[in-house]
Amino acid sequence: MRIDLHTHSRASDGTQTPAELVLAARDAGLDVVALTDHDTTAGWDEAAAAARDAGIALVRGTEVSARSRGISVHLLCYLQDPDHPALADELARARESRVHRARHIVERLARDVPVTWQDVLDQAGGALAIGRPHIADALVALGVVRDRDAAFAHLLASDSEYHVDHYAPDAVAAVAAIRASGGVPVFAHPAADARGRTVPDRVFDELAEAGLAGLEVHHRDHSPAQRERLLAIAERLGLLVTGSSDYHGSGKVNRLGENLTEPRVLDEIVRQGTTEVVTA
């Protein structure tokens, strides 16, 4: 069984609709795919309908933005109650903050680059979670940069002069909110230091104590040495180990199914979660 538990659609910063993403997952030979858009569940219904028609299982989830000691932390949340206020209110606040942040970044960029907020909206295509990837797409469309990776390497880097922070809950509080909503929290790409600073080991202990269920160990942004370190942490803390693509469509080089999760791990996620996996 081929299981990929981390993908994005146009509901956040992917380039495909939720339905297109599900069909792409089926065509890539996956048996199970998780839709985990940033800070939103807006794509769930469309993806579920497509999964039933396509004969592929869908795990509904969200990638939750958080922070620990000023360091960005992303938590994959699986099978939660989407209407539970403990998490839904935090997601709404994060989405609103993302939009304000994106507007401020565009204002700063516009001093030096011919980009407007309308350019970004044109690329976002109605996404609720508007963020830096949509600004990157606008810069690509305008011919300012070659692709998203080039945009994030300089203009949209966290140490860029154009950078603006956005609201995100404390990571321990976010884990607690995910559990309160009936979701299953897994730390996404926790050692991906090319993206910026990563958390020290003691943070894994704090998150595990708060209810963290697992670590996304097998990810293209982790070196073999980083994977070995994370596997040791997961074993020490009794955490699940997942593998995923972090697929965004044509926006990134990540390919569906390039890292996979074992069926027994998915079984445990399902056991701990509140909502059911969608099947045909």
- Calculate what percentage of the chain has a pLDDT beyond 70: 100
Identical topology for domains 3-92+166-272 and 100-153: no
| Integer Cα distance of 159 and 143 in angstroms | 22
| Integer Cα distance of 130 and 254 in angstroms | 20
| Integer Cα distance of 248 and 230 in angstroms | 24
* Average pLDDT taken over every residue of the chain: 95
Report the first-to-last Cα separation within the chain, whole angstroms.
Answer: 16
Neighbours of 117 (CB within 10 A): 16
| Integer Cα distance of 42 and 18 in angstroms | 9
Query: pLDDT tens, 210-241?
Result: 999 999 999 999 999 999 999 999 999 999 99
The domain segmentation of the chain, as residue ranges, is 3-92+166-272, 100-153
pTM of model > 0.75: yes
42 residue type, one letter:
A
Spell out the CATH class of 100-153: mainly alpha
Residue 251 has pLDDT above 80, yes or no: no
Strands across the sheet containing 214-218? 3-7, 32-38, 57-68, 71-78, 184-187, 214-218, 240-243
Q: Residue 150 has which token pair?
A: 């080039």
Spell out the CATH class of 3-92+166-272: alpha beta
Q: On the CB side of 181, how many CA atoms lie within 13 Å of its CA? A: 27
Query: pLDDT tens, 99-155?
Result: 999 999 999 999 999 999 999 999 988 777 788 989 999 999 999 999 888 999 999
